[in-house]
């Protein structure tokens, strides 16, 4: 831990003003592999290792929540081989998580519509949810967006609210930001203060559309497999230099 704080100091990160929640669009795996003459699947394997390393660094640094975009509702359009590789990597990660979550005091939660996902992967996700429930609320939490789309999340939340209204559990005129947020996949989790997108693309790609209303955005040309602790520090330093007014004016 002392080495981490020494490194952070050198990178000018203020550990007393860390974003509580960081979200990352893990982009650039395919291009990373293509530039090296490798199959796209090799990029996803490298990207999975980057996720493990960055999640560990966030935990040690003191960030409370990390949300990553692993597989979108649109990613089913990719080749069966690429989709199969991504799901296989997720399965391996979940198997490791089940064995180590309690030891490492790491909570794990999924955003997205899990119904089209392989039943074995769904079962592993449920197992991680059960372990998460037994861990303290102050433990580091990684959120994995799987078969996730921001518009899809909002639609699913709206349908659940409508169903509750029809069942007499609530009334339409009771709906406000806080109540609607409780129907989202991220219910109970603070909105991300910082959203990072590697790879040089300058768009959200349907990621956390409701939750990003007042997030700070950081873009970098570095491809996700090459994204390291130093790159994360650059993003946090940039975030800490922003003037966050939330629509108001500072006096």
Determine which one of 75, 113, 164, 226 is catalytic: 75
The helix/strand/coil state of 110 is strand
Reported as a single tens digit per residue, the pLDDT across 215-247 is 999 999 999 999 999 999 999 999 999 987 766
Determine which one of 3, 16, 27, 177 is catalytic: 27
> Does 27 qualify as catalytic in the annotation?
yes
Mean pLDDT value of segment 26-54: 96
At 8 the pLDDT is 47
Tell how far CA 26 is from the center of its chain.
9
At 245 the pLDDT is 73
Residue 24 pLDDT > 90: yes
Q: Where does the pLDDT of residue 9 fall: very low under 50, low under 70, confident under 90, or very high at 90 and above?
A: very low
Residue 251 pLDDT > 70: no
pTM (2 decimals)? 0.91
| 5 or 12: which leads in pLDDT | 12
Reported as a single tens digit per residue, the pLDDT across 104-160 is 999 999 999 999 999 999 999 999 999 999 999 899 999 999 999 999 999 999 999
Q: State the DSSP code for 219.
A: E
At 244 the pLDDT is 74
Cβ proximity of 111 and 146 under 8 Å: yes
> Does 143 qualify as catalytic in the annotation?
no
Buried b (16+ CB within 10 A) or exposed e, 158-169: eeebeeeeeeee
């Amino acid at each position: 831990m002392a080495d981490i704080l020494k490194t952070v100091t050198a990178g000018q990160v203020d550990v007393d003003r860390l974003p509580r929640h960081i979200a990352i669009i893990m982009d650039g795996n395919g291009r990373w592999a293509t530039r090296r003459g490798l199959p796209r699947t090799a990029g996803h394997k490298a990207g999975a290792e980057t996720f493990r390393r960055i999640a560990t660094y966030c935990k040690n640094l003191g960030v409370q929540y990390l949300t990553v975009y692993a597989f979108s509702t649109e990613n089913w359009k990719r080749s069966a081989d690429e989709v199969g590789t991504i799901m296989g990597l997720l399965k391996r990660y979940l198997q490791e998580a089940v064995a180590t979550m309690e030891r490492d005091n790491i909570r794990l939660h999924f955003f997205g519509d899990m119904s089209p996902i392989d039943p074995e992967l769904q079962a592993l996700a449920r197992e991680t949810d059960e372990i998460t429930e037994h861990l303290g609320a102050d433990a580091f939490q990684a959120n994995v967006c799987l078969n996730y789309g921001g518009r899809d999340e909002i639609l699913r939340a709206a349908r659940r609210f409508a169903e509750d209204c029809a069942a007499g559990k609530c009334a339409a005129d009771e709906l406000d930001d806080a109540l609607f947020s409780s129907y989202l996949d991220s219910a109970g989790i603070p909105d991300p203060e910082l959203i990072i997108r590697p790879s040089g693309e300058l768009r959200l790609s349907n990621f956390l559309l409701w939750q990003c209303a007042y997030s700070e955005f950081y873009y970098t040309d570095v491809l996700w497999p090459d994204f390291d602790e130093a790159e994360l520090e650059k993003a946090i330093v940039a975030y800490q230099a922003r003037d966050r007014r939330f629509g108001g004016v500072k006096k």
